[in-house]
Amino acid sequence: MTDYKIHVLICGGTGCKSADSDELKKSLKQWIDEVGLEDDVQVVLTGCFGFCEKGPIVKVLPDNTFYVSVTPSDAEEIVKEHLLKGRVVQRLLYRDPNTHQQISDSKGMDFYKKQMRIALRNCGFINPENIQEYISRDGYMALGKCLTELTPEDTIQEIKDSGLRGRGGGGFPTGLKWEITRKSEADQKYVVCNADEGDPGAFMDRSILEGDPHSVIEAMSICGYCIGASKGLVYIRAEYPLAIERLKIALDQAREYGLLGEDILGTGFDFDIDIRLGAGAFVCGEETALIHSMEGKRGEPTFKPPFPSVSGFLGKPTNVNNVETFANIPVIINKGASWFNKIGTENSKGTKVFALAGKINNVGLIEVPMGTTLREVIYDIGGGIKDGKEFKSVQTGGPSGGCLTKNFLDTPIDYDNLLKAGSMMGSGGMIVMDEDDCMVAIARFYLEFILEESCGKCSPCRIGNKRLFEILDKITSGKGEEKDIERLILLSNVIKDTSLCGLGQTSPNPVLSTILNFRDEYLAHVNEKKCPSGQCKSLLKYEIIEDLCTGCTLCFRNCPVGAITGERRQPHYIDQSLCIKCGVCYEKCKFNAIKLT
């Protein structure tokens, strides 16, 4: 086995892959061969580093140099300068958006300083397609410990003591869930990993499966041991081809090593895992819907109870946890519940992974201890708001969550605090919005999403959300009335109160929270017919400032609908009834004579 002196880690997460990290890897290898360093340098495609904003990321070890936005054409320089001569390529270093300082070592980056990586411990560190690298990081040791030293009851107790709660949204205590499933008697039980991450703008689970698939496999096996199941299923979105591929490789390797299959580690424990593909239905994140989908049916939820832990897949007791929850398990077993439950807040232990996105400098995947404040996440880790704009709101919990204002920036993040603030933890999407975002339009955006994703089974969700959307649409197109706001609230509350599943029970949250926190914006839309952020097209008005118009006729000639009239060398005029607000006149005018109101 060669011991390489230098390891070059390239991010192979979907974000970076989309930005050509495969090609980059090829180039780097080529140049390394060219200069004869192939015995000294190992190039590894790893899982996501989290710093997606500046992908592709290349990390050179052992000196921890962190290159951002690397293109294949940069490979030559990295190899010839850095690897050969030890000279850091300055121009590829990350530049702090606030201080404009270049930072060479990733540990020096604010982005990483406040993070604590438990679920993401191996992401961006090991080659996910190599089981040996996982094993070298204590991989499968937790499973070994459980199988040889702990009874299923002991293991469940450990998970219960750790205080781990489900990371998929609801925050149900994981140990308790396992215990209930263990106590349900049946000839066959199932362990299901929910990897149907559907929140738009969330990619935590995908990154874990891409970067550290074995941690999920190991945890599912532990769960199987605890509840008495010999069969596991991973329900994964078909839209995640890379994660599926990596998971398949990992499953094959685990089988090859005897870590899946019959008589694991000679203990008589049998366990194996199958993959089931989702097919593009957000509602299948709900566990009963997910189970129906795995059974080849329409992914419609059913009323609980019975809970899957009693009657789930094929009517058998089924334990469903999401990817991030599972990823925490081996660490808890290895390091102990008492280590884990020291992290976090009173009722929310451990860390949480967030997909940070939107109008923020450092878009990416982060993991912080529970109790970290939103401000730390947005300003310290996220690097603040893009282009120096003002923070307006942060949306957590995806379409089920709410939009929080700057008043909540110092709220420590945990399950209860977010709920109290009118949002929720959800699976971990965190979208930051700035002054340019219209909160009514955001609410409308989420409702539109819900509208497409509602399964249609229960009336309040099927029809109620449609009506909510229609009212919001009316408001954003300037036809709203003040009483519409009250109707939104009334209807939202009924939908929450009567819907069949979690999707409908939370779908009005974006509406309610934006009304609660940004009522002024709603009022501006309905009363003044104005969109303060200038986002709602129908409420925009293009007008010609007479004093500045030279009558050059450029706008007149470019208007696609003939809404502009005027004589040459005379001020022109826009007929508002014809204007479609395309903005062409605004772009074309050379004299800044067109104003937007």
Partner 1 sequence: MPKIKLAESTVKIIKDVCARFNNSEGELINVLHTVQHKLGYLPAEVQEVIAKELNTSVAKVYGVVTFYSYFSMIPKGEFPISICMGTACYVRGAEQVLSEFKRQLKVEVGESTSDGKFSLNCLRCVGACGLAPVVMIGEKVFGRVAPTQVKQIIAEYREGCSSEKAKSA
Partner 2 sequence: MDTVQLIIDNKPIVVKKGITILEAAASAGIHIPTLCHMKLEDLNIENKPGGCRICVVEVKGRRNLAPACCTEVADGMEINSHSIRVINARQTVLELILSDHPADCLICAKSGKCDLQDLAHNMGIREIHYKGEQSTYREDTSPAIIRDVDKCIMCRRCEMMCNEVQTVGVLSAINRGFTAVVAPAFEMNLDHSVCTYCGQCVAVCPTGALTEVDQTSHVIKALSDPTKTVVVQTAPAVRAALGEMFGMEPGTLVTGKLVAALRRLGFDYVFDTDFAADLTIMEEGTELLNRLTRFLNGDKDVNLPILTSCCPAWVKFFEHQFPQLKDIPSTARSPQQMFGSIAKSYFAEKMKISREDLVVVSIMPCVAKKYECGRDEFKVNGNPDVDYAITTRELAGLITLANINFNRLPDEEFDLPLGESSGAGVIFGTTGGVIEAAVRTAYELHTKKPLPRIDFTELRGMDGIRQATIDFGGFPLNIGIAHGLGNARRLLEKIESGESEFHAIEIMSCPGGCIGGGGQPYHHGDVEVLKKRQKAIYREDSMKKIRKSHENPYIIQLYEEYLGKPMSEKAHHLLHTAYFDRT
Partner 3 sequence: MTKIKTLDDLRRIKNEVQSKIKLRENSSSPEHLVQVKIGMATCGIASGARETMKYFIDELELQAIDAVVTQTGCMGFCYAEPTVEVTLPGKDPVVFGFVGKDKAREIIDVYIKRGELVDGIIPLSFKTIHD
Binding site for partner 2 (CB under 8 A): 281, 283, 298, 300, 302-303, 305, 451-460, 462-467, 470-471, 487, 490-491, 494, 496-500, 505
Least distance in angstroms from the C-beta of 295 to partner 1 = 5
Q: Report the partner that residue 364 touches, choosing among partner 3, partner 1, partner 2, none (CB closer than 5 to 8 A by kind).
A: partner 1
Which residues ranging from 210 to 269 are in contact with partner 1 (CB under 8 A)?
A: 238-240
Interaction pattern, residues 35-64, with partner 3; x per rule: CB under 8 A: --------------------------xxxx
Q: Of 31-39, 141-149, 188-196, 270-278, which segment contacts partner 1 by CB under 8 A?
A: 270-278
The H or E element containing residue 320 is: strand 318-322
- Closest CB to partner 1 among 281 and 585? 281
Residue 463 or 516 having the CB closest to partner 2: 463
- For position 85 contacting partner 3 by CB under 8 A, the verdict is yes
What is the smallest separation between the CB atom of 454 and partner 2, expressed in angstroms?
4
Structure tokens at 434: 């700035």
As a whole number of angstroms, the distance between CA 179 and CA 153 comes to 8
3-state DSSP assignment of residue 434 = strand
Q: Minimal CA–CA distance to 263: which of 232, 225, 227?
A: 225
**Per this entry, what is the length of the chain?**
597
Question: Restricting to residues 275-314, which ones interact with partner 1 according to CB under 8 A?
Answer: 276-282, 293-299, 314
Closest to partner 1 by CB, 182 vs 276, is: 276
Pairwise CA distance, residues 327 & 322, whole Å: 9
Which positions from 110 through 169 interact with partner 3, judged by CB under 8 A? 125-126, 132-133, 135-141, 144-145, 147-148
Distance (Å, whole) CA 405 – CA 374: 10
Nearer to partner 1, 17 or 165 (CB): 17
Q: What is the rounded distance in angstroms from the CA atom of residue 331 to the CA atom of residue 204?
A: 18
Minimum CB separation of residue 444 from partner 2 in Å reads 14
Beta bridge partners of 365: 355
Q: Which residue has the tokens 């769960």?
A: 223
Query: How many whole angstroms separate alpha carbon 83 and alpha carbon 87?
Result: 8
The contact mask relative to partner 1 for 515-554 (x = CB under 8 A, - = no) is: ----------------------------------------
Q: Kindly determine how many residues on this chain lie close enough to bind partner 1 according to the rule CB under 8 A.
A: 54
Q: Count the Cβ atoms, other than its own, within 10 Å of residue 519.
A: 12
Among positions 74, 110, 179, 199, the unique one binding partner 1 when judged by CB under 8 A:
199
Q: Judged by CB under 8 A, how many residues of this single chain contact partner 3?
A: 39
Contacts of residue 87, defined as CB under 8 A and 6 or more positions apart, other chains included, come to: 81
Q: 560 preceded by cis ω (within 30°)?
A: no
Nearest to 109 by CA among 381, 318, 299: 381
- 87 binding partner 3? (CB under 8 A): yes
Report the nearest approach of partner 1 to the CB of residue 379 (Å): 18
Q: Applying CB under 8 A, does 398 fall inside the site for partner 1?
A: yes
Position among 52, 259, 404, 421 found at the interface with partner 3 (CB under 8 A): 259
CA distances from 77 to 6, 31, 54, 74, 83 (A): 16, 9, 19, 6, 9
Only one of the segments 105-113, 341-349, 416-424, 427-435 lies at the binding site for partner 1 (rule: CB under 8 A); that segment is: 427-435
DSSP 74-105: GHHHIIIIIIHH----GGGBEE-TTT--EE-B
Tokens of 318: 């089924």
- The 8-class DSSP code of residue 270 comes to E
CB of residue 267 vs partner 3: minimum separation in angstroms? Answer: 9
- Closest contact distance (angstroms) between CB of 414 and partner 3 is 27
Buried (b) or exposed (e) across 33-43, using 16+ Cβ within 10 A? eeeebeeebbb
CB of 525 to partner 2, least distance (A): 19
364 binds partner 1 (CB under 8 A): yes
259 or 475: CB nearest partner 1? 475
Whole-number CA gyration radius for the chain: 27
H or E, element range at 486: helix 482-498
Site string for partner 1, 17-36 (x = CB under 8 A): -xx-----------------
> Residue 585 in contact with residue 565, Cβ under 8 Å?
no
Positive or negative: CA dihedral 119, 156, 412, 423: positive
**In the complex with partner 1, which residue's Cβ is closer, 298 or 335?**
298
Distance between CA 429 and CA 134 in Å, rounded? 27
137 interface partner picked from partner 3, partner 1, partner 2, none, CB below 5 to 8 A per type: partner 3
Backbone angles phi, psi at 574, to 5 degrees: -105, 125
Q: Would you tell me which residues interact with partner 1 (CB under 8 A)?
A: 13-15, 18-19, 51-55, 198-203, 206-207, 238-240, 276-282, 293-299, 314, 355, 357-359, 363-364, 395, 398, 429, 431, 433, 437, 442, 445-446, 449, 452, 455
Contact positions toward partner 3, by CB under 8 A? 1, 3-7, 9, 61-64, 85-88, 104-105, 107, 125-126, 132-133, 135-141, 144-145, 147-148, 256-259, 265-266
